[in-house]
Amino acid sequence: MKLAVGPLLYLWERNAVLEFYASLRESPVDIVYLGEVVCSKRRPLQREDWSDVARMLTEAGKQVVISTLALIEAESELAALARTIGTSGGLFEANDYAAVECAAGRPFVAGPHLNVYNAATLDLLVRRGARRWVAPVELPLATVATLAASHREDLQVEVFAYGRLPLAFSARCFTARAHDRAKDDCGFICGDYPDGITLYTREDQPFLTLNGIQTQSAAVQNLHSHVGVLRDGGVNVLRLSPQSRDFLAVVDAFRGAIEAQSSPAIPAPFLPGDYCDGYLDGAAGMSNATPWRRDPAPG
Amino acid sequence: MTEAHDVELVCPAGTLPALRAAVDHGADAVYIGFRGATNARNFPGLNFSAAEAATGIAYAHERNVRVFVALNVYPSPASWSVATATIDNAAAVGADAVILADPGLMAYAVQKHPTLRLHLSVQASATNWRAIEFYRREFGIRRAVLPRVLSCVQVERLIARTTVEIEVFGFGSLCVMVEGRCALSSYATGHSPNIQGVCSPAHAVRWEETPQGRQSRLNGVLIDRYAAGEPAGYPTLCKGRFRVNDTVFHALEEPTSLNALDVLPRLIASGIRAVKVEGRQRSPAYVAQVTQLLRRALDQCSKGDREAATDIKDALDQVAEGRTHTLGAYHRRWQ
C-alpha cells in the first residue's frame, strides 16, 4: 500500500510551496501530485520552479504525477492542458474528459472528478490508458472494492484518505464573493486562507470550506483508523491532501498504520470542524462512524 | 448564423398531464424520466412507467413533438441492470433520444441500440469542446447540454469548435455548481444527484418554528432561518444563509431562478440548437405557463426582435424561485 500526497488545493505563497515540497523529500510518501486543479489564474510557481520541484522529488525516489484542472471553460485553459500533457514525461492526472481526450491513449491517472461509478466506465478508461483510478469522494468503499476487484492486475486504486473533501466546483469564485470582489478582480484573496475559509451555519456549526471556485467540507475526512478495511477492499494508494500544519505528522501516522506498527497517533484536528468518515459506508459524508477522541485512551 | 426557427424548445414533464401541457403549449420536444433512481429528478410521485411513457410518446408524436428520456445518474454496480433496462425500455417505447451522463451507459447504448440518438446530459459536466469531442468520438453523441457555468462568450467559442448540437438552459432553477461535480448533498445527507438522482432530498428536510423564527434543516444542519413575514424557500443547501468571517449571507447563491431571456437573441445567433426549461418536478400548470411564455419569446426572436417583451419577463418572474431571476453565468459579472 502506497502513500500519495494529493495536489495542493489552496493558494500558498511561493516559499511556502517550495518548503512544503522540500519537506516531502525525506518523508515516507511514495507519490506526489503536483500542479493546479482548482483555478487557472493561480500561479504561485513558474513552470521552471515546478520542473525543479518535480526533479527534486523524483531524485528522492517519489513518483511525480502532474494534476490538471477540474473545471475547464476557456480556450486558454484547454491550450494549457494540452501543453501540460504534451510536456509531462510521466503520468498526469485527468480531472476532466478533455484531458482524457488529449491523452490520446497515453497512460494517465483517472482523477476523482471523472465520475467513475461503475465497471463499464472504469473499463473504458483503462482501455484509454488509465493506470490508476482515484475514486470519487462520495463512492462507498463497497463499490470501490467491487470495481477494484475487476482490475486487480492492470489498475491501481486510490482513495481520498485525509483532508478537507473536495465536494464541488462552480464558475463562481466564492472566496472573491465573500470579500465582495469580482472574480476578474479577485486580487488573489484566496492566498490569505492557506486552508480555505470555513463556512459556518447560523448556529456556528463548521459546515463547508470556501476555496476559490471549489467548495470543500469543513470537517477533515480521516480514514486513518480504516486502513485495514481499505487494504482488504483492494485499495493500493491512500491520498493525503496538503494542509498548512501538521502534515508530516499525518504522513507518519498513516505510514505507521500501513506498516501495522504501533502507529503514531494522528494529530488532533487544528481546523474548525472535526474528523469525518461517513462516505466510507455510504452515509452522509459529514458523519463520523468512529468519533475522534481528543483524550488519549488510558494506559 | 442559425435561424431562430431552428432552435428547439425542450420542456420538462414529470407526469403524463405535464407532458400533454408541454405539447399543447408549444414545446418542440419534451424530456421525461422513468421511475426509480435513474434520473436527476427522482422524487416521490414523479416520473413515468414504461406504459405511461408509451402513451406520452404517442400523444407527442401525433403532434409532431419529440420525446427524450433522461437517465442521467451514474449507476453503481448494484443499480447497473436497472439502468440498462431503462435504456432498453426507452428504445422499445420509441424515445427520440436518451439523455445520458455516464460513459459506461453510453457504451452500452451504442452497442445494444446503435440507432438510438444520444444526448449528453448536463450531469456529464462537459464545459468545453474537447470534453464534448471525447463523447462524440467514443459514442457518437448528437447533442450536448451545457452546464450552467459558461458565459455567453464561452458558449459562442465552444459552439464554433464543435460539430455536436448544443442545448442550453433557458429558464428554471439554477445550479450554482457544475452539474455532475457536486457532492454537497451527499456530504450533508448521504444522497446525491450523481448516485440517487436527488439534491437536498425532502426526507432529510425538517422545518421548525422557534423564537428566532422559522428554521429549515437538512439532516440536522441549519440551512436558513426566516424572520416573521419573510418568505421561506425549499432548503436546497447551496441556497441557504451561512456565516463566512463575520457576515451572514447567501454565501453560495441566492434563491433565484435562471432566466436567459435577455441573452436569447445572442445565444441563438451563436448557433445553439435547443433551449431547455428546467423543472420535471413542477406542476402541469407551471409547465403549460412557462412553455407558452418561452414559445412566444422564441417566436419573437425568430421574427428578429432583439429583446423579449416585458410582459413575458414579468410573467416568468411570477413563477420563478424567489420571484427573482438572474442571467447566472451567461453574464460574466455573476461569476
CB contact under 8 A, A168 and B177: yes
Q: Do A111 and A94 touch, CB atoms closer than 8 A? A: yes
pLDDT above 80 for B44? no
Same domain, B48 and B63: yes
Cell numbers for A215, please give them: 467548495
Same domain, B244 and B113: no
- Partners of residue A122 in chain B, C-beta under 8 Å: 104
Q: Which residues of A256-272 are buried (b: 16+ CB within 10 A; e: fewer)?
A: bbbeeeebeebeebebb
Cα–Cα distance measured from residue A212 to residue A214, given in angstroms and rounded to the nearest whole number: 5
CB contact under 8 A, B130 and A210: no
- Partners of residue A200 in chain B, C-beta under 8 Å: 242-244
In this prediction, what percent of chain B has a pLDDT beyond 70?
97
Cell numbers for A18, please give them: 517550495
Q: Is residue B126 part of a domain?
A: yes
Same domain, B74 and B142: yes
Q: Are strands B242-244 and A197-200 parallel, antiparallel or unpaired?
A: antiparallel
- Partners of residue A284 in chain B, C-beta under 8 Å: 186-190, 219
Same domain, B230 and B98: no
Q: Is residue B48 part of a domain?
A: yes
CATH of the domain at B50: 3.20.20.70
DSSP state of B34: B
- Partners of residue A205 in chain B, C-beta under 8 Å: 221-222
Q: What is the mean pLDDT of residues B209-221?
A: 95
Rounded to the nearest integer, the mean pLDDT of chain A is: 94
Phi, psi of B156 (to 5 degrees): -60, -50
Question: Amino acid letter at B150?
Answer: L
pLDDT above 60 for A159? yes
- ipTM score: 0.95
Cα–Cα distance measured from residue B207 to residue B215, given in angstroms and rounded to the nearest whole number: 6
Same domain, B90 and B43: yes
Name the pTM for this structure.
0.95
Domain boundary among B232, B249, B266: B249
CB contact under 8 A, A137 and B183: yes
- Partners of residue B248 in chain A, C-beta under 8 Å: 202
Q: What is the pLDDT of residues B93-132, one digit of tens each?
A: 999 999 999 999 999 999 999 999 999 999 999 999 999 9
DSSP for chain A, written as a single string: -EEEEPPP-S---HHHHHHHHHHHTTSS-SEEEES-SS-TT--SS-HHHHHHHHHHHHHTTPEEEEE--S---SHHHHHHHHHHHHH-SSEEEE-SHHHHHHHTT--EEE-TTS---SHHHHHHHHHTTEEEEEPPTTS-HHHHHHHHHTTTTT-EEEEEEEEEEEEEEESS-HHHHHTT--GGG-TTGGGG-TT-EEEE-TT--EEEEEETTEEEEEEEEE-GGGHHHHHHTT--EEEE---SSSHHHHHHHHHHHHHTSSPPPPPPP-SSS-EE-GGGGTS-TT--SS---SSPPP-
DSSP for B283-300, written as a single string: -HHHHHHHHHHHHHHHHH
- Partners of residue A135 in chain B, C-beta under 8 Å: none
Phi, psi of B334 (to 5 degrees): -60, -35
Same domain, B12 and B139: yes
Q: What is the pLDDT of residues A74-106, one digit of tens each?
A: 999 999 999 999 887 789 999 999 999 999 889
A contact residues 7-66, partner B, Cβ 8 Å cutoff: none
Rounded to the nearest integer, the mean pLDDT of chain B is: 92
Domain boundary among B249, B274, B294: B249
Q: What is the pLDDT of residues A178-232, one digit of tens each?
A: 999 988 899 999 999 999 999 999 999 999 999 999 999 999 999 999 999 999 9
Q: Residues B4, B6, B11, B17: is their CA dihedral positive or negative?
A: positive
Same domain, B208 and B296: no
Domain boundary among B249, B275, B294: B249
- Partners of residue A203 in chain B, C-beta under 8 Å: 222
Q: What is the pLDDT of residue A298?
A: 39
The H-or-E segment that residue B80 falls in is helix B80-92
Spatial CA neighbour of B67 closest among B77, B57, B75, B59? B57
Cell numbers for B331, please give them: 453574464
Same domain, B198 and B103: no
Q: What is the mean pLDDT of residues A20-31?
A: 98
Q: Is residue B220 part of a domain?
A: yes
Nearest CA in chain B to A285: B187
Number of neighbours of residue B66 by Cβ within 10 angstroms: 18
DSSP state of B110: H
Cα–Cα distance measured from residue B212 to residue B248, given in angstroms and rounded to the nearest whole number: 15
Long-range contacts of B189-194 (CB under 8 A, 24+ apart): B189/A284, B189/B218, B189/B219, B190/A278, B190/A282, B190/A283, B190/A284, B190/A285, B190/A287, B190/B219, B192/A138, B193/B40, B193/B73, B193/B123, B194/A115, B194/A117, B194/A136, B194/A138, B194/B73, B194/B74, B194/B123
CB contact under 8 A, A120 and B243: no
Q: What is the pLDDT of residues B6-21, one digit of tens each?
A: 899 999 999 999 999 9
* Degrees to nearest 5, angle at CA A134 with A144 and A286: 70
Q: Is residue B179 part of a domain?
A: no
Q: What band does B246 get if pLDDT is binned at 50, 70 and 90? A: very high
Closest CB to A115 among B74, B154, B253: B74
Q: What band does A289 get if pLDDT is binned at 50, 70 and 90? A: low
Range of the domain at B225: 184-249
Nearest CA in chain A to B251: A178
CB contact under 8 A, A201 and B75: no
Q: What is the pLDDT of residues B95-104, one digit of tens each?
A: 999 999 999 9
Domains and CATH numbers, chain A: 2-164+217-267 (3.20.20.220)
A contact residues 116-175, partner B, Cβ 8 Å cutoff: 117-125, 136-139, 143, 146-147, 165, 167-174
Same domain, B163 and B263: yes
Cα–Cα distance measured from residue B283 to residue B304, given in angstroms and rounded to the nearest whole number: 32
Same domain, B86 and B167: yes
Q: What is the pLDDT of residues B140-167, one digit of tens each?
A: 999 999 999 999 999 999 999 999 999 9
CB contact under 8 A, B219 and A284: yes
DSSP state of B116: S
In this prediction, what percent of chain B has a pLDDT beyond 90?
79
Same domain, B147 and B53: yes
- Partners of residue B192 in chain A, C-beta under 8 Å: 138
Q: Check CB contact of A232 with chain B, cutoff 8 Å.
A: no
pLDDT above 90 for B88? yes
Same domain, B143 and B166: yes
Q: What is the mean pLDDT of residues A154-172?
A: 97
- Partners of residue A184 in chain B, C-beta under 8 Å: 332
Q: Is residue B18 part of a domain?
A: yes
Structural domain count, chain B: 2
A contact residues 75-114, partner B, Cβ 8 Å cutoff: 75, 77-78, 81, 96-98, 100-102, 113
Q: Do B235 and B223 touch, CB atoms closer than 8 A? A: yes
- Partners of residue A170 in chain B, C-beta under 8 Å: 149, 176-178, 252
CB contact under 8 A, B75 and A98: no
Q: What is the mean pLDDT of residues B188-198?
A: 95
Cα–Cα distance measured from residue B325 to residue A176, given in angstroms and rounded to the nearest whole number: 22
Nearest CA in chain A to B77: A118
Q: Check CB contact of A199 with chain B, cutoff 8 Å.
A: yes
Closest CB to A202 among B125, B189, B225: B225
Mutate to test the interface with A, among B120, B122, B128 (most CBs of A within 10 A): B128
